[in-house]
Every structure is written in structure tokens, then in C-alpha cells.
Amino acid sequence: MSGHSKWSTIRHKKAAQDAKRGKIFTKLIKEVTVAARMGGGDPEANPRLRAAIAAAKAENMPKENIERAIKKGTGELEGVAYEEVIYEGYGPGGVAILVEAMTDNRNRAASEVRHIFTKNGGSLGEAGCVAWMFDKHGLIVFSKDKVSEEEVMEVALEAGAEDIRDQDDQFEVVTTVGDFEKVKAAFDEQGLAYEMAEVTMVPQTTVRIEDEKTAQQLLRLIDMLEDNDDVQHAYANFDIPDEILNSVA
């Protein structure tokens, strides 16, 4: 899974540096709002809301923005009613793609997502065609030039991580959704700097993409999906070799 995780960390760093912060905030606010609507406004009793708040704070979202989003979710303030929608399909090279969206207009979202798939050599599929290939986990990624394997392993195992993977120049710590915050907090307490930490959909198997043109088209598809206003996340099961990933990234 290293090629996919590395691309995720590249995008994560890029998003933090570029001018799309307003768009990032919009997606985070949607998640906080929907989480509060579905599970209540108390983060202690609502794990999804707790994770959404943590993600918002990680992007330095002002506290008042977070509180306002929670109140819109619980109905204390008037707000847009977002609906969660899942889209599934295939990209270039037969890569499975799972798209999580939150929208106030299902028809618009479906039309735009379908257009992005078609424009970039992919195809939108039926519900359930690829979802079974992914499992929801917490994922914490470290760069090997910043931490040692012993440091990561000691903290991860003590905190209850599911798995630790040695992937090229990265270590990947996999957790259950329920243990994610606890494991992440353990690394924070020890001052171990990670490249990325999030609850994500982890593919059970990956598709190796070794053709540069296919990789470029595939990553353009993922980028366009994630840049869409209605799309919260786009997950895929590709594995692209470092030399090709660095070339097209």
C-alpha cells in the first residue's frame, strides 16, 4: 500500500500549503455538522464528531467555526442540510475507487462525479461494486528519516495498534477506528512527528500501476474528485512505484 499512502501524504502536505484552505475548511465543517446531526453535539459521546473536531483543529480551524458547525448539526442554528452519498467505480488500470460525498443536491453531485470519472478514463459503477474491497481503519504514517522503527513499534504496540507496516521509506501504523485517537495521542505524548494521521478506507489488496501515463491519468482523476466541492474523500487501491510517483506528482 506504500504507493497509495505516499500519494496521500503528498496531497496532505500540498493542501496545507496551497490556497485551497477555504475549501478544506468547507469540507471539515460539513463533516463536523453531519457528525453532530447524526450522533449529537457531545464529542465525548460521539466518536465521529470527536474525530471531525480533531481533524478541524489539525488544520487550525478557529474554535468558533467548529462550535457553529456543531450547533448547525444539532439544530441550534439554521444551516444547510447535507446528505451523505457514496459513489463507486473504476479508474485507469482497473483501480477501484470509493468516493464519499456530502451534498445538498444529489443530482448535481452525481452528474459531476460521473463527468470526472468519464473525463479521466474511468467509469462509475453500481452500488457495492468496490466498497467490499475497503475497510475503515485509523492510519498514521511516519517518515523513516524522522523516527526509528523501535520508537514507532514501542509506542504503537503499547497503545494498542493493530499493525505496523514497513513500506519503503515510511512506517504505517494501522489501528481500529475506536483506538485511533488513543494511538495518535500516544505518539503525540512521545513527541513522535508523523506525516499523516487520519481515519481512512484502507484497501484489502492493491493494483500495481507501472505505466507512467496510466499513473498520471489515475492521479488526475483522484485529484479532480477530491477538489470537487461535494466530495469529502476519494479512496483508491492503487500502488504506484516511487520512481513513477515522484515523476508524476
Q: Which helix (H) or strand (E) holds 86?
A: strand 83-90
The Cα 128–Cα 109 span in angstroms is 18
Q: Indicate the class that CATH gives domain 133-203.
A: alpha beta
Question: Can you give the pLDDT at residue 18?
Answer: 52
Report whether CATH 3.30.70.980 matches the domain 83-131+205-240: yes
Q: Is the dihedral of CA 132, 218, 85, 195 positive or negative?
A: positive
Average pLDDT, the chain: 89
pTM for the model stands at 0.82
The Cα 173–Cα 153 span in angstroms is 9
Asked whether the beta carbons of 173 and 6 are under 8 A apart, the reply is no
Question: Can you give the pLDDT at residue 9?
Answer: 66
Q: Which CATH number fits domain 2-74: 3.30.70.60, 1.10.10.200, 1.20.1250.20, 1.10.10.10?
A: 1.10.10.200
The Cα 240–Cα 242 span in angstroms is 6
Q: Which helix (H) or strand (E) holds 172?
A: strand 170-175
* Helix spans in the chain (H): 2-17, 21-39, 47-58, 63-74, 106-119, 149-159, 180-190, 212-227, 242-248
**What order of strands is seen across the sheet that includes strand 231-236?**
123-124, 83-90, 96-103, 231-236
Q: Cell for 138?
A: 485509523
Residues of the chain below pLDDT 70: 1-21, 249
Delimiting residues of CATH 1.10.10.200 domain(s) in the chain: 2-74
Distance of CA 107 to the CA centre of its chain: 24
Delimiting residues of CATH 3.30.70.980 domain(s) in the chain: 83-131+205-240, 133-203
Distance of CA 34 to the CA centre of its chain: 16
Question: Can you give the pLDDT at residue 77?
Answer: 86
The Cα 204–Cα 174 span in angstroms is 13
Rg (CA), the chain: 18
Question: Can you give the pLDDT at residue 19?
Answer: 47
